[in-house]
Structure 1
Amino acid sequence: MTYFPKQITGGLTFNFKVNLTAYPASSGWSLVAYLRGESVIDLQSQADGNQHVFNISAEITKTYTAGHYGYSLRAIHTSGTVDELESGVVEIKADLASLSGSSDLRSHAQKTLSALEAVIEGRASLDQERYRINNRELYRTPMETLIKLRNQYRAEVSQERAKASGKSVFGQVIRVKLG
């Protein structure tokens, strides 16, 4: 079971509750989420009956540096016992309200695909794969390799877009009834 969200958006209130019967907040347990990546972020839960509540204001989340962070969600008892409940990666998304107009919010795959397509387009008029001038050599990546990489990144971008629109990343779903 996953307790911790996989995304936090800067500039928005980050609020979620966790109800753990093995670690009730009313019995001296608290939760701490340690995030490590572009910066160091420690999130402390507050007790609400038996539930653990994380409520981080928009004023605080807007100061978070965007990026991917490793996290460890830990239950800590007043007696000193510490248990790790889960760990993984969380993405902190930039606060769009605080970004300049020149910010590039494309994913790595989208940026790489654009770069590969620009190289392929530029190479379309060049016929040399390598050449030498005054004992200096220049080797260009073979066109077949560039096209293979472009196709790989096209597929990755297509999956990102399908996921963002809520479509299946496995393609069309075919339902079969047996029996």
Structure 2
Amino acid sequence: MLHQFPSSVTAGLSIKAEVHVDAYPAPEWTLTAIIRGPTSIDLEAAPLGSGHLFAETAAVTSGWDAGTYAVSVRAVSGEDVHEVEAGQLTIAADLVSVDAGFEARGHAQRVLASIEAVIEGRATKDQESYAINGRSLVRTSIADLMLLRDRYKREIARESPNGKRRRLTGRQVKVRFGR
């Protein structure tokens, strides 16, 4: 899991990430990020006091392909190499380079829309299964579709930063009536 190195970036935008690892201070140690996925990306951090700074320009990141990548951040000093952290990095597409018709919805949003379309289309059909000339068709029950719909709604809420808006006061609303 990535704690200091970003877990998501957007191609075509500048990135800066400060990484501080007490056990591997700069300039004695250099940090590198090995990023593998649709393409291979190698980054080297510049010293920043006793910490490290990963920085890339928008011109460099615009050449990065969108997708999910594996990341290994490593501390290097001579022939001594240690993995500091590892995880996944999601690179989002640069909207400047995306053509019209781009599907901006994520997997969960697309599946939810499909499930809701099936539920809507099934509202007028009363049979769940039937057979004609030895061939049969069994439809997913409305109850199962509703469960799937609820599951994908929860997944979308978890993924979205605004998915669950909480009141500052929590669930309780305190009221005082006076004379």
Shorter-normalised TM range: 0.7 to 0.9
Moved over 4 A (4+): none
Residue 38 (structure 1) shift? 2.8
Name 1:3's counterpart in structure 2: 4
1:85-125 deviation line (CA, Å, top 9, x unaligned) = 11122221111111112111112221111010001111112
Could you tell me whether the CA contact under 8 Å between 2:25 and 2:50 is conserved in 1? yes
Q: What TM-score do you get using the length of structure 2 for normalisation?
A: 0.82
* RMSD over equivalenced CA pairs, Å: 2.5
Q: Work out the CA distance in 2 between the residues paired with 1:62 and 1:166.
A: 32
Q: SS where residue 42 of structure 1 aligns?
A: strand
Shift of 1:158: 3.2
1:122 aligns with 121
**CA distance, structure 1, for counterparts of residue 121 and residue 163 of structure 2:** 32
TM, length-normalised to structure 1: 0.82
* Cα deviation, residue 137, structure 1: 2.4
Kept after mapping to 1: 8 A contact 2:156/2:163: no
Residues 45-60 of structure 1 mapped to structure 2, 5 A cutoff: 45-60=45-60
Unaligned stretches of 5+ residues in structure 1: none
State the partner residue of 1:42.
Answer: 42
- Does the 8 Å CA contact 2:33/2:73 hold for their aligned counterparts? yes
Deviations 1:121-140 (A, max 9, x none): 11112222222334332221
Match of residue 61 from structure 2: 61
Q: d(CA) in 1 for partners of 2:142 and 2:32?
A: 51
The match for 1:173 among 149, 170, 175 is 170
Indicate if the aligned counterparts of 2:157 and 2:163 stay in contact, CA closer than 8 A: no
Measure the CA separation in 2 of the matches of 1:51 and 1:6: 19
